[in-house]
């Protein structure tokens, strides 16, 4: 079973998406010297695992202008050929480099008489009326051209000010940096002020955000229309002020009657300062713990739901602070747990209607190259993150991918004869995980018990005693019912049978166990959301690096 299958089989199917950059299809060697064979495997994986797609850059104005929409259309046709929905990204963005030369405010001569490398001509000087006309024509041209073929449009991208953490408030930041941002009287409210970035649209066009949505809706009545932003998903801690400004902006659009359907949460996270023990490293004072972070994301999602706005995770990445050679097992588990926590949040919130990552295979993007930010590794195998995402949507599932050996229910081999072929033996890493392998990994975190029964099949061996002890703790906590999901980590694929009831345990480590069960199953008879019983639990982020 794939992510796509699991998401489609939920009581309320969930769009689960990825991003592809056409530039790497055109020349796969552009990133990490990939070959045509690599490209075939990469695209096949996308079509198999995902039901929603975005082209990273190709639908942005500069690229559509330069390439006559070819990149955007190519990936749209790929999506249509594989039954995938498609998001247009991004229609109106104030970042100069995303616009064509004639609307790129940075296409001016410097003191030496040179233009920026991307610019072929100088941007003209426009009146405000001319700017409105140019924007409206662009919106009309694109939304009309794709009308009826897109599932969603990121209509406006990244308009809210980034007020540096070295300042106590955005008001203080703007006073010190008046060329960067300014207060929007139109979108500010009684509770929160809104500071917007200064660009070719604003402040000359004080209502450009509203106008972009209104114009898009005129020509495409089918696509969901959204505002896409970063560094706002958590409503507390260092993200609080931008989070409140973003909410106020969207609420003001809703109050105006502007046709906005969703808030797009980019959610770019780096585990280097988003750890489970400290929420940002032992010396960090700016970041909440990850559990508080997830609680805060949930609260933020709730307030958008209250005003009738859907929540889309649009660009999720969970990157490592370090490069590949120091990416250890604990880091992979931490990454996986956070992927799972965010998906659990989405599954528990009726208004969360898309879960999309910005890429999906390590090594296939320049934005997070070397940071291993995705559910699939450089070998195209599912990492721990993939396993955890699957377990959130379908805790008992079958995955036949690569190795022919199947890991049975509970993640235990149970016995050599049950699972492993003649070339392999059953090696146990811990009380919750084992693999069929030719030899035990030369790794200190593997216990390497061999040929044992599953700890939940009545075994009385060393592993069984450990498992019984853990089971006793879980029963005492009231969070164990009838099933423990499979967790085979990066190794052999799983073919599973078992009851479909109500528990999720993927780690015997108490911190990880607490993270994965905190709030998620505090009410065994809680309401159903997309087929998942109970309440879901739920980074810094970089900007639209594209």
Tokens for 12? Answer: 């309320």
Q: What's the pLDDT at 545? A: 41
Tell me if 426 is assigned to some domain: yes
Using CA atoms, how far apart are residues 151 and 222, in angstroms rounded to an integer?
7
Q: Are strands 268-270 and 310-319 parallel, antiparallel or unpaired?
A: parallel
DSSP output for 483-535? ------TTSS-B-------S-----SSHHHHHHHHTTTTSSTTPPEETTEES-
Contact 290, 276 (CB under 8 A): yes
Q: What's the pLDDT at 415? A: 43
Q: What's the pLDDT at 428? A: 66
Using CA atoms, how far apart are residues 420 and 436, in angstroms rounded to an integer?
5
- Single pTM value for the model: 0.74
CA angle at residue 277 from 271 to 280, to 5 degrees?
Answer: 45
Collapsed DSSP state (helix, strand, coil) of residue 244: helix
Q: What's the pLDDT at 506? A: 31
Tell me if 427 is assigned to some domain: yes
Contact 22, 71 (CB under 8 A): yes
Bridge partners of residue 87, in order along the sequence: 54, 152
Using CA atoms, how far apart are residues 201 and 155, in angstroms rounded to an integer?
14
Q: What's the pLDDT at 283? A: 31
HSE-CB for 475 with a 13 A CA cutoff: 7
Using CA atoms, how far apart are residues 463 and 448, in angstroms rounded to an integer?
11
Tell me if 95 is assigned to some domain: no
Tell me if 300 is assigned to some domain: no
Tell me if 464 is assigned to some domain: yes
Collect all residues with Cβ–Cβ distance below 8 Å to 186 and sequence separation of at least 6. 206, 207, 210, 252
Tell me if 402 is assigned to some domain: no
Of 450, 432, 452, 425, the C-alpha closest to 505 is 432
Nearest-10 crossing angle of helices 384-393, 329-348? 20
Neighbours of 365 (CB within 10 A): 24
Of 421, 435, 427, 426, the C-alpha closest to 381 is 435
Q: Which stretches of the chain score pLDDT less than 50?
A: 275-288, 323-326, 397-412, 414-418, 431-432, 451-546
DSSP output for 168-210? SSHHHHHHH-TTTEEE-TTT--SS---EEE-SSSTTTSTTHHH
By residue range, what is the domain housing residue 429? Answer: 409-503
DSSP output for 52-108? EEEESSTTSHHHHHHHTTHHHHHHHHHHHHTT-EEEEEEEEE--GGGS-GGG-TT-S
Collect all residues with Cβ–Cβ distance below 8 Å to 358 and sequence separation of at least 6. 19, 56, 266, 268, 314, 315, 316, 317, 365, 367
Q: What's the pLDDT at 423? A: 61
Contact 245, 192 (CB under 8 A): yes
Residue located via tokens 């498609």: 86
Compute CA 99 distance to the chain's CA centroid, rounded to the nearest angstrom.
Answer: 25
Q: What's the pLDDT at 320? A: 77
If one counts the domains in the chain, the total is 1
Tell me if 413 is assigned to some domain: yes
Nearest-10 crossing angle of helices 290-306, 329-348? 20
Q: What's the pLDDT at 413? A: 52
Q: What's the pLDDT at 407? A: 35
Q: What's the pLDDT at 182? A: 98
Q: What's the pLDDT at 291? A: 74
Tell me if 259 is assigned to some domain: no
């Amino acid at each position: 079973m794939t992510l796509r299958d699991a998401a489609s089989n939920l009581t309320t199917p969930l769009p689960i998406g990825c991003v592809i950059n056409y530039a790497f299809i055109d020349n796969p060697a552009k990133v990490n010297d990939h070959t045509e064979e690599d490209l075939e495997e990469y695209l096949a994986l996308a079509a198999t695992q995902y039901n929603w797609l975005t082209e990273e850059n190709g639908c942005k104005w500069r690229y559509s202008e330069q390439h006559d929409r070819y990149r955007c259309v190519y990936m749209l046709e790929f999506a249509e050929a594989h039954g995938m929905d498609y998001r247009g990204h991004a229609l109106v963005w104030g970042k100069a480099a995303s616009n064509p030369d004639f609307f790129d405010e940075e296409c001016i001569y410097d003191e030496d008489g040179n233009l920026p490398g991307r610019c072929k001509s100088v941007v003209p000087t426009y009146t405000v009326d001319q700017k409105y006309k140019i924007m409206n024509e662009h919106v009309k041209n694109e939304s009309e051209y794709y009308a009826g073929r897109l599932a969603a449009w990121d209509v406006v991208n990244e308009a809210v000010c980034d007020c540096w953490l070295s300042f106590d408030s955005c008001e203080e930041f703007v006073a010190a940096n008046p060329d960067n941002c300014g207060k929007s009287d139109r979108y500010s409210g009684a509770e929160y002020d809104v500071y917007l970035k200064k660009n070719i649209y604003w402040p000359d066009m004080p209502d450009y955000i509203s106008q972009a949505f209104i114009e898009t809706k005129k020509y495409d009545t089918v696509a969901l229309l959204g505002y896409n932003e970063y560094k706002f998903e958590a409503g507390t801690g260092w993200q609080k002020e931008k989070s409140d400004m973003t909410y106020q902006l969207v609420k003001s659009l809703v109050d105006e009657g502007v046709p906005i359907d969703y808030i797009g949460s980019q959610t770019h996270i780096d585990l280097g300062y988003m750890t489970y023990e400290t929420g940002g490293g032992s010396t960090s004072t700016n970041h909440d713990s990850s559990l508080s972070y997830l609680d805060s994301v949930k609260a933020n999602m709730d307030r958008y739901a209250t005003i009738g706005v859907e929540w889309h995770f649009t660009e999720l990445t969970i990157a490592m602070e370090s490069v590949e050679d120091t990416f250890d097992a604990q880091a992979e588990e931490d990454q996986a747990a956070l992927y799972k926590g965010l998906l659990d949040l989405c599954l528990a919130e009726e208004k969360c209607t898309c879960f999309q990552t910005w890429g999906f295979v390590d090594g296939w993007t320049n934005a997070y190259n070397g940071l291993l930010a995705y559910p699939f590794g450089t070998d195209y195998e599912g990492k721990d993150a993939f396993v955890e995402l699957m377990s959130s949507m379908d805790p008992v599932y079958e995955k036949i991918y690569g190795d022919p050996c199947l890991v049975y229910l509970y993640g235990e081999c149970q016995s050599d004869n049950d699972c492993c072929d003649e070339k392999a033996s059953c090696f146990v890493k811990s009380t919750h995980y084992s693999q069929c392998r030719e030899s035990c990994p030369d790794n200190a975190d593997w216990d390497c018990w061999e040929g044992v029964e599953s700890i939940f099949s009545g075994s009385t061996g060393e592993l069984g005693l450990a498992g019984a002890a853990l089971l006793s703790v879980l029963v005492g906590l009231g969070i164990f019912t009838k099933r423990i999901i499979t967790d085979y980590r990066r190794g052999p694929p799983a073919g599973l049978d078992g009851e479909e009831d109500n528990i999720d345990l993927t780690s015997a480590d108490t911190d990880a166990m607490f993270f994965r069960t905190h709030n998620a199953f505090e009410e065994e008879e809680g309401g159903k959301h997309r087929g998942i019983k109970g309440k879901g639990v739920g980074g810094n982020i970089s900007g639209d690096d594209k």
